[in-house]
């Protein structure tokens, strides 16, 4: 169960961030209202939410999940793989240090939090364009010291691992077709997003509720038999910047006593 979340308001330079999308630039009024709805949703699920101010000069900084990996014992400050995001971690350290002792990914390792999926005491670490082998090795070593196991998965499709693979409870993974049947998740039931609804794979499980992007009725129908409440949120302005629901927060379980 998560007790706290850290988010960051998108800044006025958000439309200048990194993206592979050819869509029109984000509408900032809509971007901010969607962010506020996201924060309200987390609060409705029992989380205390810290909303950090925009980080001027870092248009991607609202995607705070990429800057840290947090377990009950430690917060790991990452080393984002995109050079333009390298300075973002300095803005998260103070907020996170109030909750956890900190460790860090060091050069030449690179690591984005969007490539990291936790399921209990097991981690799936995606090696992608943003996370390299050395970053994966360092994270696995830090987590291993606290009793967590790690599996490395090569990310051949999508920006991050969690663009295509997420845990949705009941020993079940929600995946895109590219990850269906992957050996690393063979012990889990798999729900495969229908063609054209791959973006819905970035669905977030928070305190027994599934938060999914709005507009993916076929994927929602596949999730319904899990018996969990489902909340849909509009993320149109984040999709334009290759972002999704998991990217917009760091979720924290209560720290160890």
Average pLDDT (225-234) is 98
Q: Identify the three-state secondary structure at position 232.
A: strand
Per-residue model confidence (pLDDT) at position 257 = 81
What CA–CA distance (Å, rounded) separates 80 from 135?
10
What CA–CA distance (Å, rounded) separates 54 from 171?
37
Q: How would DSSP label each residue in 237-252?
A: HHHTTT--TGGG-EEE
- The dihedrals phi and psi of 7, each to the nearest 5 degrees, come to -130, 170
Q: pLDDT class for 120, splitting at 50, 70, 90?
A: very high
Burial call 129-149: b when 16+ CB within 10 Å, e when fewer: ebbbebbbbbbbebbeeeebe
Which residue is associated with the tokens 């077709």?
Answer: 177
pLDDT in tens, 85-107: 999 999 999 999 999 999 999 99
pTM, to two decimals: 0.96
Per-residue model confidence (pLDDT) at position 223 = 98
Per-residue model confidence (pLDDT) at position 156 = 83
Q: How far is CA 114 from CA 23, 194, 234, in A?
A: 22, 22, 19
Average pLDDT (228-245) is 98
Q: How many CB atoms lie within 10 A of CB 22?
A: 6
Whether residue 181 has pLDDT greater than 80: yes
Q: Which residues are known to be catalytic?
A: 160, 247
What CA–CA distance (Å, rounded) separates 210 from 73?
25
Q: pLDDT class for 225, splitting at 50, 70, 90?
A: very high
Residue 90, both tokens: 């300095």
Q: Which of 69, 50, 47 is nearest to 1 (CA)?
A: 47
Backbone conformation region of residue 147, classed left if phi is above 0, alpha if psi is from -120 to 50, else beta: left
Per-residue model confidence (pLDDT) at position 159 = 87
pLDDT in tens, 140-156: 999 999 999 999 999 98
What CA–CA distance (Å, rounded) separates 34 from 164?
22
Whether residue 33 has pLDDT greater than 80: yes
Per-residue model confidence (pLDDT) at position 64 = 98
What CA–CA distance (Å, rounded) separates 178 from 182?
8
Which residue is associated with the tokens 């101010």?
Answer: 53
pLDDT in tens, 42-78: 999 999 999 999 999 999 999 999 999 999 999 999 9
Q: CB–CB of 209/231 below 8 Å?
A: yes
What CA–CA distance (Å, rounded) separates 58 from 49?
21
Sign of CA dihedral 241, 205, 44, 49: negative
Mean pLDDT score of the chain: 97
Whether residue 158 has pLDDT greater than 80: no
């Amino acid at each position: 169960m998560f007790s706290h979340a850290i988010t960051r308001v998108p800044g006025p330079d958000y439309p200048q961030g990194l993206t592979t999308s050819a869509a029109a630039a984000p509408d900032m009024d809509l971007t901010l209202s969607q962010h506020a709805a996201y924060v309200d949703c987390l609060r409705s699920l029992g989380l205390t939410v810290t909303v950090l101010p925009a980080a001027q000069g870092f248009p991607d900084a609202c995607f705070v999940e990429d800057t840290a990996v947090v377990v009950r014992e430690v917060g790991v400050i990452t080393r984002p793989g995109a050079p333009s995001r390298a300075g973002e971690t300095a803005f998260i350290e103070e907020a996170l240090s109030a909750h956890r002792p900190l460790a860090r990914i060091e050069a030449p390792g690179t690591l984005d939090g969007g490539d990291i999926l936790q399921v209990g005491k097991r981690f799936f670490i995606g090696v992608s364009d943003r996370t390299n082998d050395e970053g994966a090795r360092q994270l696995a070593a830090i987590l291993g010291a606290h009793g967590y196991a790690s599996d490395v998965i090569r990310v051949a499709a999508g920006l991050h691992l969690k663009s295509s693979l997420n845990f949705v409870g009941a020993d079940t993974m929600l995946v895109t077709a590219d990850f269906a049947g992957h050996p690393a998740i063979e012990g889990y039931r798999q729900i495969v997003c229908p063609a054209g609804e791959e973006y819905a794979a970035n669905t977030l499980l928070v305190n027994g509720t599934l938060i999914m992007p709005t507009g993916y009725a076929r994927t929602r129908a596949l999730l319904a038999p899990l018996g969990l409440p489902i909340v849909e949120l509009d993320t149109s302005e984040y999709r334009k910047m290759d972002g999704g629901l998991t990217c917009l927060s760091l979720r924290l379980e209560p720290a160890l006593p």
